[in-house]
Amino acid sequence: MLTVKEILEQRLFSKENLVTLLGAKGTDGLLILKKGGEVKLQQVGNNVYFRGLIELSNVCEKDCLYCGIRKSNEAVTRYNLTDEEVLEAARFAYREKYGSIVIQSGEVTNEIFVARIERLIKEIKALSNNQLGITLSLGEQTEEVYRRWYDAGAHRYLLRIESSNPELYRKLHPDDGHHLYQQRLNALRAVQRTGYQTGTGIMIGTPWQTLEDLADDLLFFKDFDVDMLGMGPYIEHDETPFKNVEAELLPLPERFNLSLKMVAILRMMMPDINIAATTALQAIDPLGREKAVKAGANIIMPNITPGKYRNNYLLYNNKPCTDEEPEQCAGCLDARLALADGEIGYGEWGDSKHFKKKERFNA
């Protein structure tokens, strides 16, 4: 079997290599993070791009077993931002030169919701002189809906596959006919066909997940030719059915380290994509996102949802920054990123270089 050092010298990684890298500990583990950071600097530079995250609503038609805002959680106070609150958050992002926003929400598929998003996208484009980039993370929709939102002006879409192993996907979701792996995959394909910069991802350290699963996930991302990736540790939420399977889980620090290794390895496998340093990392380690930036991530999503709603968008325990207003988030990130040798790419869209190359190739 090859050593970690020998594997890192290769250009391509087999599944067996990936499992070895993911299992590396101590100095071998640090070597992986270091290489991920070096590849990032060579390929996409030290710029970190901000996407102002607007958590539009916690109303959800789905019941994912891991998620705190799943429809069956009756302890959640449901909310919907008003249109004016969404537009004000977008104005804030524009003023602060964030370059882009992400609109994220529980999954809702009715026409009122679809038309509302379409209208909001157009209004955000208008208020920002067409300058703000818009990423959507609104779950599984029909191809026609993806097209309507794309035509309105959104240009990136995030839909995590959650696991590329259909069997594991099945265990993470209720068996109610509304949570089908094939449906999720088809939706992701529809996003890509529509022309969005396509983002996907997974949670790391879910119950029953193995290193082989994670290796397959990495190969899936490459094979799918994604442009953007968002992955972070799975973190328990006390009001979900998974509360009772805690015994199956890796300790949080291990989930954290595994997440950093996933970022670093993916950066080596897909050097020119955008990789997010996700908020869930910060829930485990206060400097979690900055550590991910050092290991290969180049996107951060500061939360710009009005503070009064944040306590109701709790996907997992200890979600950070729930008592802050957008202004506070921005200030603290600036200083911390400097520690991670990252420089904020203010006023730029920070599109995936990978997507741009594909566009040029297909032109």
Phi–psi pair at 17, nearest 5 degrees: -60, -45
Contact segment (CB under 6 A) with ligand SF4 among 64-72, 189-197, 297-305, 333-341 equals 64-72
Which of 53, 99, 52, 39 is CA-nearest to residue 294? 39
CA distances in angstroms from 89 to 113, 140, 348, listed in the order given: 19, 24, 18
Total residues contacting ligand SF4 by CB under 6 A comes to 9
Range 77-106, binding ligand SF4 (CB under 6 A): 106
107 sits near ligand SF4 (criterion: CB under 6 A): yes
Residue 70 or 291: the one with the smaller Cβ distance to ligand SF4 is 70
Residue 205 binds to ligand SAM (criterion: CB under 6 A):
no
What phi, psi does 55 have (nearest 5°)?
-85, 90
Distance CA 31, CA 24 (A): 9
* Greatest extent of the chain over all pairs of C-alpha atoms, in Å: 59
- Secondary structure of residue 346 in the 3-state scheme: coil
Q: Which of the stretches 104-112, 170-178, 302-310, 336-344 binds ligand SAM when contact is defined by CB under 6 A?
A: 104-112
In terms of CB distance, is 44 or 114 closer to ligand SF4? 114
| Among 67-75, 78-86, 231-239, 290-298, the segment contacting ligand SF4 (CB under 6 A) | 67-75
Stretch 217-256: interaction string toward ligand SAM, x if CB under 6 A? -----------------xx-x-------------------
Q: Which two tokens stand for residue 142?
A: 């029909």
Question: Which of the listed partners (ligand SF4, ligand SAM, none) does 70 bind, with a CB threshold of 5 to 8 Å by partner kind?
Answer: ligand SF4
Residue among 24, 89, 98, 162 that touches ligand SAM (CB under 6 A): 162
Q: Which stretch binds ligand SF4 (CB under 6 A): 11-19, 65-73, 187-195, 292-300?
A: 65-73
Residue 21 or residue 67: which is nearer to ligand SAM going by CB? 67
Classify residue 333 as left (phi > 0), alpha (psi -120 to 50) or beta.
Answer: alpha
Beta carbons of 201 and 173 less than 8 angstroms apart = no
Decide if residue 259 touches ligand SAM (CB under 6 A). no
Give the CA distances from residue 341 to residues 106, 278, 295, 338, 349, in Å, rounded to whole numbers and listed in that order: 34, 18, 11, 5, 20
Based on the shown chain and the rule CB under 6 A, indicate whether residue 62 belongs to the binding site for ligand SF4. Answer: yes
What is the SS3 string spanning 172-236? HCCCCCCCCHHHHHHHHHHHHHHCCEEEECEEECCCCCCHHHHHHHHHHHHHHCCCEEEEEECCC
The contact pattern for ligand SAM, residues 165-184, with x = CB under 6 A and - = no contact, is --------------------
CB of 119 to ligand SF4, least distance (A): 22
Q: How far apart are CA 158 and CA 138, in angstroms?
A: 8
The single residue among 28, 38, 61, 107 that binds ligand SAM, judged by CB under 6 A, is: 107
Angstrom CA distances, 209 to 44, 144, 215, stand at: 31, 34, 11
Of ligand SAM, ligand SF4, none, which one does residue 203 interact with (CB within 5 to 8 Å by kind)? ligand SAM
**If binding is defined by CB under 6 A, does position 316 make contact with ligand SAM?**
yes
The span from the CA of 15 to the CA of 291, in Å, is: 25
* Residues at the interface with ligand SF4 (CB under 6 A): 60, 62, 64, 67, 69-70, 106-107, 139
- Residues in contact with ligand SAM by the rule CB under 6 A: 66-67, 104, 106-107, 137, 139, 159-160, 162, 203, 234-235, 237, 280, 315-316
